């Protein structure tokens, strides 16, 4: 049985250096480094994220897919800028740029809006990657540029027609009816045709997603104040001008669980200590989650996570 790490010693030394640079970046800006539980009775309610869990003393606990809930509880308590580097877990993700256990960088700064949140992320990626500032493109601009579609008005039949025109392999069982879930089609078209083109020449921040894909971001009319960083066609970060309205989050949780049930997945707890914190008062802020392993991989010129991880999932 092989016992050696998949990464070289030199690569792990370079990884350590970059992670220290990340810490320096935030400490120089007055952020407090924090630690929050990896196991919690609360979990993010997301249609596409499936948490791992265990039962202890008759109670179910979830390995966190993100430290988001606990970190927002700290922001609600203290209203200070914080960051964290931690392990997170997501079921059924394994491959060249996926590992079920991975390292996440997450940070929040009270008072920040969408623009300030994107700028902070841009400053971070420029510091670590050294590829200069990121360009910006709205979600609508991306769909119009690469597919000739306006995602805010396009119907499912129109999106299906574009997919056929582009000779995409449409997943079996996809709903082509006018009443189909439009977000399924958005995700498919983005992943198949648009994402590989993003951030190829220089880092790119995609922002103003459709409001139906707000997750935990503020909605502004038909769009959500959500942003993602792409480099070489790889998603590195997901950020929000954070939703602070607990009533709206309860509505979104219920809606998301209904979608999970329709997908044949288990539903997840809708009430949480985050909601209690939001009832108390979560200050206006922006927050971002960064796949730190992917960021390190690109910064070091690696082509796979196995090159920058000591023991990826297949040999863990």
Q: In the numeric block, which tokens belong to residue 95?
A: 């491959």
pLDDT tens by residue, 160-201 = 999 999 999 988 888 888 777 899 999 999 999 999 999 999
DSSP-based three-state secondary structure for 80:
coil
CA 304/CA 294 separation, integer angstroms = 9
| Helical segments of the chain, H only | 9-28, 68-78, 114-129, 139-147, 156-165, 182-189, 246-262, 273-280, 292-299
Give the residue extent of every domain in the chain: 9-130+218-315, 135-201
- SS3 per-residue string spanning 166-222: CCCCCCCCCCCCCCCCHHHHHHHHHHHHHHHHCCCCCCEEEEEEEHHHCCCECEECC
What's residue 173's pLDDT? Answer: 82
What's residue 261's pLDDT? Answer: 95
Burial of 282 by CB count in 10 Å (0-12 exposed, 13-18 middle, 19+ buried)?
buried
Q: Positive or negative, the Cα torsion across 252, 256, 259, 261?
A: negative
Q: In the numeric block, which tokens belong to residue 206?
A: 């995609």
CA 287/CA 124 separation, integer angstroms = 13
pLDDT tens by residue, 141-156 = 999 999 999 999 999 9
Whose tokens are 């951030």? That residue is 199
Q: For the structural domain made of 9-130+218-315, what CATH number should be given?
A: 3.30.930.10
What's residue 181's pLDDT? Answer: 86
Low-confidence ranges of the chain (pLDDT < 50): none
| Contacts of residue 128, Cβ cutoff 8 Å, sequence gap at least 6 | 18, 21, 22, 25, 295, 299
CA 296/CA 89 separation, integer angstroms = 18
> In whole angstroms, how far apart are CA 11 and each of 4, 95, 104, 234, 283?
14, 19, 19, 21, 40
User: Cβ distance 81 to 59 under 8 Å?
Assistant: no
pTM, two decimal places: 0.96
CA 67/CA 84 separation, integer angstroms = 8
User: Cβ distance 287 to 225 under 8 Å?
Assistant: no
User: Cβ distance 222 to 210 under 8 Å?
Assistant: yes
What's residue 266's pLDDT? Answer: 95
Q: What percent of the chain has pLDDT over 70?
A: 100
Which of 50, 42, 46 lies closest to 253, judged by CA?
46
């Amino acid at each position: 049985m092989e016992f050696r790490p998949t990464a070289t010693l030199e690569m792990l030394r370079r990884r350590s250096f970059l992670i220290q640079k990340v810490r320096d970046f935030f400490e120089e800006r007055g952020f407090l480094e924090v630690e929050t539980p990896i196991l919690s009775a609360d979990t993010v309610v997301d249609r596409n994220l499936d948490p791992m869990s265990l039962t202890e003393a008759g109670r179910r606990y979830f390995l966190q897919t993100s430290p988001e809930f606990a970190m927002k509880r700290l922001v609600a308590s203290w209203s200070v800028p914080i960051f964290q580097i931690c392990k997170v877990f997501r079921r059924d993700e394994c491959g060249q740029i996926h590992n079920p256990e991975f390292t996440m960088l997450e940070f929040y700064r009270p008072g920040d809006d969408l623009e300030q949140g994107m700028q902070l992320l841009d400053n971070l990626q420029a510091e670590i990657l050294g590829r200069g500032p990121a360009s910006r493109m709205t979600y609508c601009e991306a769909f119009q540029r690469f597919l000739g579609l306006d995602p805010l008005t396009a119907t499912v039949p129109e999106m299906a027609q574009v997919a056929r025109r582009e000779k995409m392999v449409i997943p079996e069982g996809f709903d082509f009816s006018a009443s189909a879930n439009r977000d399924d089609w958005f995700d498919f078209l983005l992943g198949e045709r648009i994402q590989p083109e993003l951030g190829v020449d220089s880092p790119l921040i995609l922002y103003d997603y459709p409001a139906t894909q707000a997750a935990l971001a503020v909605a502004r009319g038909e769009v959500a104040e959500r942003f993602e960083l792409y480099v070489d066609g790889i998603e590195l970060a997901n950020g929000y001008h954070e939703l602070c309205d607990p009533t709206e989050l309860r509505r979104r949780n219920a809606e998301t669980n209904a979608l999970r049930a329709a997908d044949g997945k288990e539903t997840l707890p809708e009430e949480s200590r985050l909601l209690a914190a939001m009832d108390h008062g979560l200050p206006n802020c922006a927050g971002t989650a960064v796949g730190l392993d992917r960021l390190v991989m690109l910064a070091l010129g690696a082509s796979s996570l196995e090159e920058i991880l000591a023991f990826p999932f297949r040999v863990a």
